[in-house]
Structure 1
């Protein structure tokens, strides 16, 4: 892999030498240029005006030289502006046009206009009351965006609670996320986190809901993205600021289930920006009842008990961003996460009439550090960009458990074990964007990833060492076929080399080369409100440490679990047709899709006998080939100006051609439904309700019961709208969420009943200071490994007792 990384590095500098900016031609040095910045707000609501059109023209001859649209915060940044005097023109439907005179000089090339106010036209003022609230859902050509910060019911929860409300996603009781019934790759701020490399379910519990700005659901990723995620990609955008001076925010939630706190601070002067964030969470330990029934050839084992687990965690980050000049930017961010999950438990056990008692203690810890360094170079040519990014990610996961098995008249049997899992990743990538003309853009890039996964046991003879190296290259071209029809297509090539050893004797060796094409065609109809989309892409799911680690988890001595180091990756082909429209303020988004996935990875049970004791082993296997047909419909409607109703309905089939048993599963229908009602009142008061229904979840061996979640929140803006205070509740009429899972084979029956303490009540407070302006930076994105479903082999690794 070192040779691969050196090759990528050489190619990066070769491209950099050719891509001399500006002009691509001969290294001609550019004259000094600067940038013009402004934030557009509504004169009545003082809220930002997004998607306002801004154009820049010279005063002396009226020639247009630059332009764009404001972002969701009403901000516009016009780069590469030569020293001169300009007219900045601003316009948007329903507002009076406005012109501002702007002057830049060689001595002062940058000009920050601050806040520019637009006034609504009189006819608009007579017809509607402008609230200026951010839409909960935004529909874009290749993704749907859920703006979590605009949803008051999220306060006091974690990222798992947020995911349950995102259109097209389904989340089971353990926190496992699927996108339209398929596996998904989760990114944070457009890049991977080592925390996700082991278990997505546990990683999501580390992130308080108050730190999440929005969630992007990308169903049709282009070849520019790593090919990971058979269902698509989820990108979680966290709250951060980048403003001149000092700005930040404080959020805290106190409740009966979980307590969260976070603090964000940004300081910026001239071209230097520094950002720091701290966050913490603590879930109270509560009794979670768990009962198991295992039936094998000659043994019936029944267990009924409880666990009382707590979940403390904290995270922090520090970032520096510096604009060297108008063309060059360098930034670096370091993040650290710590999370633990565990506690004591007891269970009464009956094995063919023999009564026993088990006293257990479990502790699982998750620690991860991510460090990114990014360099970006732009040019006078609008949209041209060259970047180099590097990432170092180090993760450490620990699992310690002990059991005391007591039987009348027999000495106690004590068992204990511990395991340290290590996941180190080293990544180098480069990307280049070249606008060939106004209608055509070319994107290319190279990437190398070196991974080392290790599992250290108490007994060194069982150690596991696994190396996975990936080299990739891509090319994407986008152009307008007509004024209404746009096309974007590309090809990604990935080579994977795998080597390792298990128990000092079992060698692991594999390598494979894959091509991943992607294409998307979109058409805007004559009304400019309706869009049709047709897309295709190929995706991969490589198994991560969670699936590969052969560590034997015996925290439940009669139902043990372990990973499988010989898993093959999943490969899927995805086809989608989408329709979206706006009708008198209402939104309708619908899509139908087909997905074919080979070598599907699922958990599987099988009977084993150890030391004369019959047990059930849970591991992972490549089941076979799955074909999925699906439909998703999202709608938003305003019965009244201040009342919004929103719903999302997802349907998909489950059917696997089972290569493990040689028998195909029947075709099952999965569904999920989300409903939300939000009402605003005078003086900054708002009230929201939501409900989520997930259908039973099928696997080739079993079924998990349906789940229902519901909640409400009321919020009041205070301190001149810089702060808010609110109350929220989740499942107020039921303390526990009862979930039953049944798995069967020819020789084994297993039934699991878990009662999660889900009911909660909480109080939350937030306060923002300074003037917030958000920016986005290009980061490394490792999107190529299948992440774990839950930690602990089915033991309370999901919501646990504190959920």
Structure 2
């Protein structure tokens, strides 16, 4: 910590000396670049007070300025920049008023007297319904507004991520960004107890509680260094409109996928109460099928091979609730406290059929057995967040924010395994009866402070500190009995209790300045990590293993942007990142669901580091938005899972610090607005990876070229009926021990607005052709594997959503809480 404080003090003094004098008009005062005024009344010519009015930028839907009308219905909107924008006014029980194509050639715009109409009247041709685009481009950030995406009807948060270009969900449920599974996932800008057990917690969040997903591929020093590939921030919905408003949603699906969600908000003025609740009952079937052949001395061992076929179902009851209050006692001071609660009561099942052969083919069957698993899981997760923000002076960016969070997670699993042999084929094998228990408790604390100081007319200095503490305990036990009603005893080596403590202390400083068409951001972050692990084996070996790690690292970041014209922008950025091994990768043993395929961790893992450089070009016109990014990543200490085949027919998967890696890629995303009724979005990543490494004298180097992408079509008919269809595709890729085969999935949905646009009825079919299967091949000196796994089969969902006091506006006009503010001085 002492090194962090010295670093922060030195950098702060250096940057403050170098900063330019404040104010360009003298006296430190800055005039607004653009002012829009007017007044609003109803059809009876009565003034409407407290109407929410906003200037919204056309390019990315960010808010330039916002306020409410006074007692006479008048408003004054000062904006710090001039940009193509539209004006929007919202008021309880009135139709939103939207005016497009404001005059940007004058620094002062008077809209005059505007009239708002009651909700039961239609808008005329001059006033159009504004709906936020599906995809937005911001500085260092891609924003996907998923709140009204038909593709996400009836889904959960993990499935929402699967429908986003550049993201992929692998067969283990890990989220991959640009081909890397090491990505930092946040909820409302913060870690969450819902993710304590990995990405499975995302299955607990109904899709319609999500407002947007923010993807940051090259984060600045302000953000945690964790996550080699970048940061994914999931922002939940929260309305800001005055009065009482909300929505309810019912869904039914096949296979079993039923639920209810509700959002309720009340904003009487200085207070904003927000709440949401989601309930899901889900049972999703899937399947697996793979063949393993054991080899010796590069020649097929004709004595042993087997095939594994299986079906599984996962799911149960899941509840997610969120409640909070935002209080503004005075104009520039904001307090907020919120809580999130998650409950999970799952019952999972597995049925696996093993067929053993005495040759490397399917001719001579020597044994066949059926292994069944019945697992129950109960989990309780909850977070409490409190924050304070103070604005100083007249500049919105002169702020101090302080935040604290406490979270608690408890997860209990119990499984019963039965493996019965077919005695008509062989009587040489004994049946297996096993039970396992796994209990995990985790507590997290977070404290953070951030200060932003405007420097000059177009710059700012940011500095802050953060501390996170995690305390975790995991207990695992597998017991076995010769008979189903016999006495069960622990299997040697499979009983342990693992304690894990992790503390991360960080400080950062960065400056952002704009000079004409150029904008630059330079920052430095220091992080000190302290890890303590304790493994206590309570089986017959009765040994104790401890490890302690402590390391301090610096993480610089820099970006340079240039606005070539109103339509063309470029940016060059750099950041250094790291990947800490998760505690699950440090666990000596983790999974026993499949008796022939073990998964365990490695307590000797070290962090992996990444240096990432990215060049981005953005073209933005009225009907077309194109983003192209070229990136290069150099990675050291890459963590890779490898398969080891034993002579007993058991395959073990362990993570190791395998290699160095060079990654090159080109990512693109284009929005084509052919008309107000027809939108096409295409996104994808071409990548090349060169990995160099070895393990136990085995060369595991691999080179691969691949592509991942998504195409989505959106069609609106008669202003009420919406049709959407999307296709995901991932090409084959090489890895150190084999290759992953191609993956594709097709989805389509339709929705219609009813009850004067206060309600929506929607139907969505996911994986229409039932092709969403992961397939892979593995080849080592002792093992050949061909495998297939499917998390869930084709499914269909129908939903009904009713909105009250939202003026038929299907997008949420208020800024969702938890969104991650980026450096927006240069609109990119």
- Alignment match, 1:358: 371
- Alignment match, 2:535: 502
Give the Cα separation in 2 of the matches to 1:193 and 1:215.
Answer: 15
Give the Cα separation in 2 of the matches to 1:438 and 1:447.
Answer: 28
- Alignment match, 1:262: 261
- Alignment match, 1:347: 352
Q: Match of 2:408, SS?
A: strand
- Say whether residues 1:531 and 2:531 are aligned partners: no
**Paired residue for 2:463, among 444, 469, 491?**
444
Q: How far off its partner does 1:162 sit?
A: 1.9
Give the Cα separation in 2 of the matches to 1:181 and 1:328.
Answer: 42
Give the aligned length. 711
Give the Cα separation in 1 of the matches to 2:673 and 2:101.
Answer: 26
C-alpha deviations, 1:66-113, integer Å up to 9, x for none? 545899996799xxxxxxxxxxx99824999864899xxxxxxxxxx9
Q: Are the counterparts in 1 of residues 636 and 659 from structure 2 also a CA contact under 8 Å?
A: yes
Q: Match of 1:454, SS?
A: strand
Between 1:159-168 and 1:447-456, the stretch displaced more is 159-168
- Say whether residues 1:379 and 2:389 are aligned partners: no
Give the Cα separation in 2 of the matches to 1:500 and 1:155.
Answer: 42
Q: How far off its partner does 1:285 sit?
A: 4.5
- Alignment match, 1:668: 704
Q: Are the counterparts in 1 of residues 525 and 555 from structure 2 also a CA contact under 8 Å?
A: yes
- Alignment match, 1:486: 519
- Alignment match, 1:600: 638
> CA, structure 1 residues 237+93, in 2 after alignment: closer, same or farther (shift >3 Å)?
farther
How do 1:470-485 and structure 2 match up within 5 A?
A: 470-480=504-514, 482-485=515-518
Q: Match of 2:431, SS?
A: strand
TM-score between the two structures when normalised by the length of structure 1: 0.81
- Alignment match, 1:713: 749
- Alignment match, 1:295: 294
- Alignment match, 1:148: 146
Q: Match of 1:463, SS?
A: strand
- Say whether residues 1:394 and 2:408 are aligned partners: yes
Give the Cα separation in 2 of the matches to 1:667 and 1:602.
Answer: 14
- Say whether residues 1:412 and 2:431 are aligned partners: yes
- Alignment match, 1:86: none
Q: Are the counterparts in 2 of residues 469 and 496 from structure 1 also a CA contact under 8 Å?
A: yes
Q: Are the counterparts in 1 of residues 339 and 385 from structure 2 also a CA contact under 8 Å?
A: yes
- Alignment match, 2:44: none
Give the Cα separation in 2 of the matches to 1:398 and 1:675.
Answer: 40
Q: How far off its partner does 1:147 sit?
A: 1.1
Between 1:205-214 and 1:450-459, the stretch displaced more is 450-459
Give the Cα separation in 2 of the matches to 1:467 and 1:145.
Answer: 34
- Say whether residues 1:433 and 2:449 are aligned partners: no
C-alpha deviations, 1:547-589, integer Å up to 9, x for none? 2233342211111112223221121000000001124421111
C-alpha deviations, 1:693-751, integer Å up to 9, x for none? 112344322322211111111111112212111222123333x6343222232222333
Give the Cα separation in 2 of the matches to 1:670 and 1:689.
Answer: 24
Q: How far off its partner does 1:654 sit?
A: 2.3
Q: How far off its partner does 1:116 sit?
A: 11
Q: How far off its partner does 1:607 sit?
A: 2.8
Q: Are the counterparts in 1 of residues 295 and 781 from structure 2 also a CA contact under 8 Å?
A: no
Q: How far off its partner does 1:286 sit?
A: 3.1
Q: How far off its partner does 1:632 sit?
A: 0.9
- Alignment match, 2:721: 685
- Alignment match, 2:732: 696
Give the Cα separation in 1 of the matches to 2:630 and 2:464.
Answer: 31
Q: Are the counterparts in 1 of residues 702 and 735 from structure 2 also a CA contact under 8 Å?
A: no
> CA, structure 1 residues 168+411, in 2 after alignment: closer, same or farther (shift >3 Å)?
closer
- Say whether residues 1:465 and 2:499 are aligned partners: yes
How do 1:741-760 and structure 2 match up within 5 A?
A: 741-760=776-795
Give the Cα separation in 2 of the matches to 1:220 and 1:780.
Answer: 14
Q: How far off its partner does 1:354 sit?
A: 2.6
Give the Cα separation in 1 of the matches to 2:144 and 2:523.
Answer: 27
> CA, structure 1 residues 554+664, in 2 after alignment: closer, same or farther (shift >3 Å)?
closer
C-alpha deviations, 1:125-146, integer Å up to 9, x for none? 69xx955332111111211111
Q: Are the counterparts in 2 of residues 198 and 545 from structure 1 also a CA contact under 8 Å?
A: no
**Paired residue for 1:558, among 582, 588, 596?**
596
- Alignment match, 2:96: none
How do 1:244-323 and structure 2 match up within 5 A?
A: 244-257=242-255, 258-286=257-285, 288-293=287-292, 295=294, 299-323=304-328
Give the Cα separation in 2 of the matches to 1:515 and 1:748.
Answer: 42
Q: Are the counterparts in 2 of residues 194 and 369 from structure 1 also a CA contact under 8 Å?
A: yes
How do 1:225-236 and structure 2 match up within 5 A?
A: 225-236=223-234
> CA, structure 1 residues 733+470, in 2 after alignment: closer, same or farther (shift >3 Å)?
closer
Give the Cα separation in 2 of the matches to 1:779 and 1:139.
Answer: 14
**Paired residue for 1:522, among 561, 564, 570?**
561
**Paired residue for 2:623, among 565, 569, 585?**
585
Give the Cα separation in 2 of the matches to 1:151 and 1:386.
Answer: 35
Give the Cα separation in 2 of the matches to 1:566 and 1:363.
Answer: 32
> CA, structure 1 residues 600+71, in 2 after alignment: closer, same or farther (shift >3 Å)?
farther
Q: Are the counterparts in 1 of residues 239 and 816 from structure 2 also a CA contact under 8 Å?
A: no
- Say whether residues 1:333 and 2:338 are aligned partners: yes
Structure 2 regions of 5+ residues with no counterpart? 14-21, 23-48, 71-75, 91-98, 119-123, 297-302, 359-365, 478-489, 537-542, 807-811, 822-828
TM-score between the two structures when normalised by the length of structure 2: 0.79
C-alpha deviations, 1:212-252, integer Å up to 9, x for none? 11111112211000011111111111212133221111122
Give the Cα separation in 2 of the matches to 1:147 and 1:162.
Answer: 11
C-alpha deviations, 1:124-176, integer Å up to 9, x for none? 969xx955332111111211111112322221122233223323223334432
Give the Cα separation in 2 of the matches to 1:216 and 1:448.
Answer: 23
Q: Match of 2:702, SS?
A: coil
C-alpha deviations, 1:577-631, integer Å up to 9, x for none? 000112442111101000011111222211346xxx4311112222211110000
Q: How far off its partner does 1:319 sit?
A: 0.8
Give the Cα separation in 1 of the matches to 2:460 and 2:78.
Answer: 18
Q: How far off its partner does 1:392 sit?
A: 1.0
Q: How far off its partner does 1:766 sit?
A: 1.2
C-alpha deviations, 1:458-508, integer Å up to 9, x for none? 47962111111111100010001x211101110000011111211251111
> CA, structure 1 residues 232+738, in 2 after alignment: closer, same or farther (shift >3 Å)?
closer
Q: Match of 2:238, SS?
A: coil
Give the Cα separation in 2 of the matches to 1:537 and 1:776.
Answer: 27
- Alignment match, 1:774: 814
Give the Cα separation in 1 of the matches to 2:157 and 2:68.
Answer: 41
Larger relative contact order, structure 1 or 2 (CA cutoff 8 Å, min sep 6):
1
- Alignment match, 1:800: none
Q: How far off its partner does 1:270 sit?
A: 3.1
Give the Cα separation in 2 of the matches to 1:553 and 1:570.
Answer: 24
> CA, structure 1 residues 4+448, in 2 after alignment: closer, same or farther (shift >3 Å)?
farther
Q: Match of 1:326, SS?
A: coil
Give the Cα separation in 1 of the matches to 2:89 and 2:756.
Answer: 25
Give the Cα separation in 2 of the matches to 1:319 and 1:71.
Answer: 35
- Alignment match, 1:204: 202
- Say whether residues 1:187 and 2:186 are aligned partners: yes
Q: Match of 1:181, SS?
A: coil
Give the Cα separation in 2 of the matches to 1:780 and 1:520.
Answer: 18
> CA, structure 1 residues 289+576, in 2 after alignment: closer, same or farther (shift >3 Å)?
closer
Q: Match of 1:599, SS?
A: strand
Give the Cα separation in 1 of the matches to 2:169 and 2:593.
Answer: 25
